[in-house]
Amino acid sequence: MKKFIALSFIACIAMQAWACGGWVRPNYYMFSVFNRDMMENNYQKEANNFWKTYIGDDFGYYMLEDFGNVEPAEFDKSDHPFITAAKKKRDTEMLTYLRLLNRYLNDNGAGYNQWDYPSKEELAKSKTVIQDVKQKALAYKGKKLKDQYALLVMRCNMTAQEHQANVDFWNTTASRLKDTPYKQWMKNIYAGALYNTGEKDKAAQIFAEMGDMTSIKYCVRKKRNLKGIKEEYASNPNSPTLVFLVQDFVNNTQETLDNDSDPNIMQYVEATGIYQNDIDGFIDFAGQVLKEGKTKSPAMWEAARGFVNYMNNNQGDAIKQLTNAQNLAGTQRMKDNARACLLLASIKSSKPDDNFFNYVTGELQWLDKVGGITPTNKYGTDPHYGDVYDRVTYDALVPKLYTWGMPNAATAVLAMADAHSNGSDYAAVIDRVSSREYEEFHDYLTSGDKSSLEKMAIASVNLPQVAYDDRMGTKLLREGEFQAAIPYLEKVPLSHISEQGISYYMARKDYNQEIWLKRQFLSPWKEHETEAKLTENAKLTYCRDMVALDKQIASATGETRNQLLLKKANLLYQASFKGDCWYLTHYAQSANDEQQSNEYDFVNSARSLLREVELNTSDMDIKLKSIFAQTFVIGENSEYCVQKEFNYDTRTYENTLFFDTPHYRAMMRFDKFYQQSNLQVPYVSKCDIYKRFLALTK
Amino acid sequence: MKNLTYIFLAGLLFMLGCRPASDSVDNPKAAVYYWRTSLTLDSVERQFLSDHNVGKMYVRYFDITLDENQQLRPNATITFHDSIPSGIEVIPTVFIVNNCLEHGIDTIAPLLVKRVLQMNETHDIAGVKELQIDCDWTAKTQSAYFNFLQLVKQLLEEKGMTLSVTIRLHQLAMEAPPAHYGVLMMYNTGDLKDSKQRNPILDQRDVEPYLKYLSGYKLTLCAAYPNFSWQLLYTGDKFRDILYSEDLNDTTLYRKVGDDRYLVVSSIDLPNYLSSNSSFTYLNAGDTVLVVKPEASSLVKIHDALSSERPGINDQVIIYSLNNSSINNYTTSDYEKIYRP
């Protein structure tokens, strides 16, 4: 699948257009002062990690769900690891807590979607159980499990929808507990209770403080615009909600100005025009906030207007403000954010000199460091910086290097970016470039002075000589330079081919088989099930065969020549992206494949030869085959005139004839010739497409 | 003479075979669907029930879906936070996702009936005489579905209850399911992906090809009509999503560019509150939001066309659905034209 995506990218890179093909790189947001990945409820995970410590290495998160499935009546007999561990440690305090927790989990209403719907008595009992669990949890006087019991109280209140009780419990008890993941969990429940008791702004502020993106988005859904930001600032210049709202505005501005809509669409132009007022308004407002001096986070406001200015093409203001933001007050994340945004903005107005390359190299290394990204942990501790790295490299740096006439450096940076994010753009470019460009890239890797950026990027390029020879030979073959390909392919050992995905096909598909008479279909799903046993490198044999065949054709005449041309047409078609032996010229195949710019036109060359044979031969069998083969080529490369169509009246699929197709005209021509020739040929009489055609036309 | 009697009887049998046993449902009343996950009725909804003398509420109790282990499970069970006004008969309704039909649906027939009965008992919903099953079955799943219905019908009859089913327009062209009557759904008739010209909720041009099946359809029918509107999100001509009660008057996000057309002026991601997982709908600047609802006159026209083809089908009309946000899409007079023309 990855290769399919990669192949669809080939043309995109060639044209410097990033939004074609079936896949578009995510529009990663650059502005991040509010860690959007904190929404994962880390406190719950951390709280649950308690059990990891308690029961040891055998812990699995599935055990948490399993624990809720232990029937309270079976609790004492249960061999659930939590219960077993508590028993083994003779931890009676823990056993009492677990028993209570188990009762809560069994009666918290989660069973509403089970087949056995609870009876009225069971529902009443459930309510009683929740109240009983709550009272027992409130009665706990110990210290060891104080946090867990407090959380249990709040969960009971939440289940019973006693939101005010939770607000009160937080204010009187839970807020005074020491800072633990349990307290974070309780705080989140408290914020929910505030929301449900009408204190929506207060709830939003807590969700914002906690980084609970899902909840905050819901709470402030009516304020996610400039007007909302102004209102929030007016009520409290240091409202935690502003951190979310400002980031949301900047990200949405990026989406608006940077989205992949066709700028020629009138509606898009109109929309951007309207939104421009808000963008200008935001830049002015951020300036006003900074001037007033009431905010404790000027770094955020300065970076926000700087990045909006960058997107708004005010490059001078953008660089100045993003630089300045790093020296203003704010959290470290706000300052890091300004630095990351500055990196992207700087590329826009940069020049290809050592200063720039040294700066970019240092900043890319810093992104890895601040994001906790290492060769063994590509996701890092904070994925945002990996996203910045992607956008800076793929979307800013690589296009810039192309515009500076540095395609080889761009390719090396792609290799580095791919290694960073498991991408496939480098592979796509390598697959697309011509043999000459590929040779230049190969030479570039080992020659001349390089900038610091190039040196860092080249370290990611893995190009052993054998891979180069194989790729170079294949490229020449693909370009129709069969003689030139031979010396490269001769150097490629069979073991190298056997390691590739194409070996499954190479070992099983014979390019000498006439494709118009018999197709060689194989299941791609069995690719990894069956071992490929190659006896020769078919690419090399193919090139030698083609060279020899051309020599034979050059000296042949009459029907012998026509026979040889028929053979060559088949060999050409087989090696095309449409042929059964596509593995000769490609490393992967997809239904979306098209003729590439650096590729010999195997399909049309085959078709021309077939036409030539048809016109020159006086042998009726050869003529018939050449017309039959042309009909095949036309059908395969446009659309077949007989297709299954769904009939809504009979609700079945039926063969339908499409008259206005090149294939229909080709079939008519073939049919006329065949009928008049009085020939009886098995490959024609067995052809199911011809049979269907006849059934619909006779 | 004897021969003439046989001919008469044969003719009578033929006619009975072509026409349903009755052209009108038993005890027809003005009715509504209630299709939310929690039952709470506000003053507007209660007023609607009262104004139109609604006598039946078809309440969605739960859905049947496949869980991650490919097991059939109840899902989105309704929670009862309110009582239904006295005098209104409740018809529990269960929606079955079509792909469930290929996973041993017949095995859950007793579980489903038992669950519905238990829900009635738990929540003191008295006088329930009927259960309705809603499913977008196809020719491929017809056999499994009909077997399942047969089982449910039998189980209900043992309890003195009856079974009704929903019928979508395309299902009119197929055999009638084994049930006591069907509700012909006169909504969601179009294709969302191609709604530039036609109203995807209800369009006469989508209905007309199916009218010919009405007179010969071998199941008693009543009809359900929509009162809801949709906010449809498009990028260019491509349909993207249905929005959930967006405030299209928020000028920082939308600009009105036509009668029912809004232009998105700022990109934003909207949490999908209807989804069980936290998914988002991404609106891009330049996208269009179309607000669609059938015109009242169109509803009346289709209502009358159905009556012409099959007198009695509108003896009982169900409005989909009872919801504060939809009620005001039509006037009281519009509703009465549909309920009591």
- In this structure, of A86-100, B102-116, B278-292, the range with the lowest mean pLDDT score is B278-292
**Would the pLDDT of B115 be above 60?**
yes
Judged by CB atoms closer than 8 Å, whether chains meet at B264 and A224 is answered as no
Residue pointed to by tokens 């290929």: B102
- d(CA A452, CA A52) in angstroms, rounded, equals 46
Of B291, B306, B331, which closes a domain? B291
Per-residue confidence band for A492, with pLDDT thresholds at 50, 70 and 90: very high
Helices vs strands, H then E, count in chain A: 35, 2
ipTM: 0.89
> In this structure, are B190 and B269 located in the same domain?
no
| For residues B98-122, average pLDDT | 94
Beta bridge partner(s), residue B262: B256, B289
DSSP conformational letter for B13: H
pLDDT tens figures, A626-681:
999 999 999 999 889 998 877 666 667 788 888 888 999 999 999 999 999 999 99
Kindly give the pairing relationship between strand A642-647 and strand A652-657: antiparallel
Give the per-residue pLDDT at B11. Answer: 42
Q: Is residue B152 part of a domain?
A: yes
- d(CA A414, CA A418) in angstroms, rounded, equals 6
| For residues A272-299, average pLDDT | 91
Residue A194 CB contacts under 8 Å (≥ 6 apart), including other chains: A167, A200, A202, A203, A206
Greater pLDDT, A60 or A512: A512
Q: Which of A247, A312, A259 is nearest to A26 (CA)?
A: A259
Tell which of A112, A245, A275, A652 to mutate to test the B interface (max B CBs under 10 Å). A275
pLDDT tens figures, A406-434:
999 999 999 999 998 888 999 999 999 99
- Whether A89 has its CB under 8 Å from any CB of chain B: the answer is no
The one-letter amino acid at A72: P
Give the per-residue pLDDT at A47. Answer: 79
Find out whether A416 and A456 touch, Cβ atoms under 8 Å: yes
> In this structure, are B109 and B238 located in the same domain?
no
Per-residue confidence band for B259, with pLDDT thresholds at 50, 70 and 90: confident
Residue A203 CB contacts under 8 Å (≥ 6 apart), including other chains: A191, A192, A194, A195, A215, A219
Per-residue confidence band for A68, with pLDDT thresholds at 50, 70 and 90: confident
pLDDT tens figures, B45-82:
999 999 999 999 999 999 999 988 889 999 999 999 89
- d(CA B213, CA A331) in angstroms, rounded, equals 70
Find out whether B186 and B153 touch, Cβ atoms under 8 Å: no
Q: Is residue B197 part of a domain?
A: yes
> In this structure, are B159 and B237 located in the same domain?
no
Q: What is the largest CA-CA distance in chain A?
A: 106
Give the per-residue pLDDT at A36. Answer: 63
| For residues A441-462, average pLDDT | 94
> In this structure, are B285 and B216 located in the same domain?
no
pLDDT tens figures, A495-525:
999 999 899 899 999 999 999 999 998 876 6
The one-letter amino acid at A578: K
Q: Out of A256, A261, A274, whose CB is closest to B255?
A: A274
Greater pLDDT, A402 or A525: A402
> In this structure, are B259 and B164 located in the same domain?
no
Q: Out of A218, A225, A270, whose CB is closest to B253?
A: A225
pLDDT tens figures, A195-254:
999 998 899 889 888 888 778 888 888 888 899 999 999 999 999 899 999 999 998 888
- d(CA A651, CA B173) in angstroms, rounded, equals 10
> In this structure, are B260 and B139 located in the same domain?
no
> In this structure, are B321 and B281 located in the same domain?
no
Give the per-residue pLDDT at B128. Answer: 97
**Would the pLDDT of B280 be above 90?**
no
* Residue B261, both tokens: 């057309």
Q: Which of A632, A646, A633 is nearest to A683 (CA)?
A: A632
Of B291, B306, B329, which closes a domain? B291
**Would the pLDDT of A17 be above 70?**
no
A259 neighbourhood in chain B, CB within 8 Å: 267, 284-286
Q: Out of B77, B114, B250, whose CB is closest to A112?
A: B77
Which chain A residue has the Cα nearest residue B268? A252
Judged by CB atoms closer than 8 Å, whether chains meet at A218 and B271 is answered as yes
Q: Is residue B99 part of a domain?
A: yes
Q: Is residue B271 part of a domain?
A: yes
Give the per-residue pLDDT at A74. Answer: 92
Nearest-neighbour CA in chain A from B139: distance (Å): 8
Kindly give the pairing relationship between strand B79-80 and strand A652-657: unpaired
- d(CA A33, CA A381) in angstroms, rounded, equals 16
**Would the pLDDT of B181 be above 50?**
yes
> In this structure, are B222 and B312 located in the same domain?
yes
How many domains are contained in chain B?
Answer: 2
Per-residue confidence band for A448, with pLDDT thresholds at 50, 70 and 90: confident
| For residues A336-350, average pLDDT | 96
Nearest-neighbour CA in chain B from A251: distance (Å): 9
Q: Is residue B171 part of a domain?
A: yes
> In this structure, are B221 and B251 located in the same domain?
no
| For residues A292-299, average pLDDT | 97
Q: Is the peptide bond before B321 cis (omega within 30 degrees of 0)?
A: yes
Provide the whole-model pTM.
Answer: 0.73
- d(CA B1, CA B258) in angstroms, rounded, equals 72
Q: Is residue B103 part of a domain?
A: yes
pLDDT tens figures, A24-43:
566 788 999 987 655 456 77
Which chain A residue has the Cα nearest residue B74? A113
Nearest-neighbour CA in chain B from A226: distance (Å): 8
* Residue B58, both tokens: 């078809």
- Helix residue ranges, H only, A519-596: 538-555, 558-575
- In this structure, of A494-503, A554-563, B195-204, the range with the lowest mean pLDDT score is B195-204
**Would the pLDDT of A267 be above 70?**
no
Tell which of B67, B248, B265 to mutate to test the A interface (max A CBs under 10 Å). B265
pLDDT tens figures, A313-333:
999 999 999 999 999 999 999
Give the per-residue pLDDT at A532. Answer: 65
- Whether A665 has its CB under 8 Å from any CB of chain B: the answer is no
Give the per-residue pLDDT at A43. Answer: 78
Q: Is residue B13 part of a domain?
A: no
* Residue A287, both tokens: 């300036």
Helices vs strands, H then E, count in chain B: 8, 18
| For residues A178-192, average pLDDT | 94
Q: Out of A117, A253, A261, whose CB is closest to B284?
A: A261
- Whether A116 has its CB under 8 Å from any CB of chain B: the answer is yes
| For residues A138-148, average pLDDT | 95
**Would the pLDDT of A21 be above 70?**
no
Give the per-residue pLDDT at A270. Answer: 60
pLDDT tens figures, A578-633:
999 999 999 998 888 888 889 999 999 999 999 999 999 999 999 999 999 999 99
> In this structure, are B188 and B241 located in the same domain?
no
Give the per-residue pLDDT at A490. Answer: 98
| For residues A324-351, average pLDDT | 96
CATH of the domain at B141: 3.20.20.80
> In this structure, are B248 and B321 located in the same domain?
no
- d(CA A215, CA A228) in angstroms, rounded, equals 17
Q: What is the DSSP string of A380-394?
A: -S-HHHHHHHHIIII
> In this structure, are B250 and B150 located in the same domain?
no
Greater pLDDT, B16 or B90: B90
Q: What are phi and psi for residue B264, nearest 5 degrees?
A: -80, 125
Residue pointed to by tokens 């069956």: A530
Give the per-residue pLDDT at B10. Answer: 42
- d(CA A441, CA A390) in angstroms, rounded, equals 23
**Would the pLDDT of B302 be above 60?**
yes
- Domain residues for the domain of B271 are 232-291
Handedness of CA A246, A247, A250, A251 (dihedral sign): negative
| For residues A61-67, average pLDDT | 85
What integer best gives the mean pLDDT of chain A? 89
**Would the pLDDT of B13 be above 70?**
no
Q: Out of B76, B121, B268, whose CB is closest to A252?
A: B268
Give the per-residue pLDDT at A273. Answer: 64
- In this structure, of A81-85, A312-316, B274-278, the range with the lowest mean pLDDT score is B274-278
- Whether A114 has its CB under 8 Å from any CB of chain B: the answer is yes
Of B251, B266, B291, which closes a domain? B291
Q: Is residue B240 part of a domain?
A: yes
Q: Out of B108, B123, B264, whose CB is closest to A271?
A: B264
Give the per-residue pLDDT at B190. Answer: 83
- Whether A230 has its CB under 8 Å from any CB of chain B: the answer is no
Taking residue A95's Cβ as centre, other Cβ atoms within 10 Å add up to 18
Give the per-residue pLDDT at B3. Answer: 47
pLDDT tens figures, A357-395:
999 999 999 999 999 988 788 778 888 999 999 999 999
Give the per-residue pLDDT at A265. Answer: 54
| For residues A536-560, average pLDDT | 97
CA distances from B71 to A264, A694, B102 (A): 49, 48, 11
Find out whether A537 and A584 touch, Cβ atoms under 8 Å: no
